[in-house]
A and B are shown apart, each in its own frame.
Chain A
Amino acid sequence: SLAMELPPSHFPAGRAAAVALGYLRYLRGGPGRGLQLRELRRARRQDIDDVGHKYYLELELEDVLDKDRSVHCTAEVLYHLGSPSTAPDVQVAVPGELRSTEEADQEFYNQIRSLEKELVAENIPDSHGNVPPELEPIHLLAWAASGYVIWQNSTENTKFHLAQVKHVKQVKRPDEDLQFDYVLLLHEMVSQEVMPWEVTVLWHPRRGARVSRH
């Protein structure tokens, strides 16, 4: 059937956009890059018989560390019919280059590797919305981790946001990856629940973020 135009300002389209953003944060986010949705430009929905509902999105994103630039991308989010426990399929196209994070990534990597005691932090942001500057990379890495959780756990009737990093603990590893065990608070807009998720993230400047437990 044909794709139906959706008002981009309304939640049904917004839910699909949140999934696309989560996926993109996981794929391209990290301590040096925090992708944020500036505007959902266009949204269409197609009901595919025996398959599910597919959303076509045009998104304008920004890197919070590079706000002067905006990134246009397109995404397709397919919610599978009848199996809400299956993660939606997401495809994203990001034309052009995102700002390089090589230097920031390496700096972060060196910093953490050189810590004598494993890093521990909690409540990021705090109750008043503050994030100490030195914890911003840990905060943005949590965005990437939450992106994975949001992508994997979204349905057409949920809209997740990362509410807070409740707790983060670094775990030193014998190999080259950094490991962070996060407790993330996710806010689900439709039910209004705020629930904790334990996520273990491995990260390396060249290999990016990988969620190993969720």
Chain B
Amino acid sequence: GAPRMRCVGPSMAAAQTEAGGARSVTAGAAGPAMGDAEPVGPGMGERGAAGPAVDGPEGEAGTATVAEEPPAPPPLPGLRLVQQGAEAHVYRGLFLGRAAVAKLRVPKRYRHPALEERLSRRRMAQEARSLLRCRRAGIPAPVVYFVDYVTNSIFLEDIVDSITVQDHIYSVQKSGGDTSGLHKLAEKMGELLARMHDEDIIHGDLTTANLLLRPPMEKLDLVLIDFGLSFISGLPEDKGVDLYVLEKAFISTHPDTETMFQALLKTYAATSKKSGPVIKKLDEVRLRGRKRSMIG
């Protein structure tokens, strides 16, 4: 594949998505693995990816002229639609007697069918692969229960009674409480991400909505979810971008959290043996961002 795709798409789209506050499911249309194959390349990337992403829950971009057939909901008992993302519809229900999450990919009819099939398959395979890799390395992520290669849907463990870190930060900030707790949370996040990156797993869509806290909240038991845009890479550039996406998401969604993110990075640097080049790349990527003067 081409994990070093220089797309502005994913990071900006993901960041914008989180600015919207929506818990978007894999918004990037120009993901890293398919940069070379995507016919509506980088030019469309910004708008194309940003369009549906910003619309978030609606699922259909204003610019789309071809209606996208939503996948039929899986016949699970206790079924609830959780999220109608641009990439997939997410449901909760009981699967084989367990609380599960079903992610059904939304087929994109405007794509050439062969490409659509290949992309869909690859994304799902990447997600499954990353989840297994996380588990083997002891990085908390949902268990995979079933992968359907026909409809490109995946059935995963539902982390019951969890809340997103996003919601947690909101509620802590609202109730004017415990910023020391948030500091600890940031440290835990830094540690978790360092371990993930040390396994060369790039999440691809790091936001506070893709990090869950298992009850009881005080334990700071974190679980990473939504590996739909993930890939394997040892490059500091990719890890730096991964962190950059999180930083943008953090700052745009949660006001006054700069110190929190700094604590995250500090713990990241302390935990990961390979963090030096990564932080260096992060600084470089920051300088590259939108509306940055490209002098010197």
Does A pair with B? no
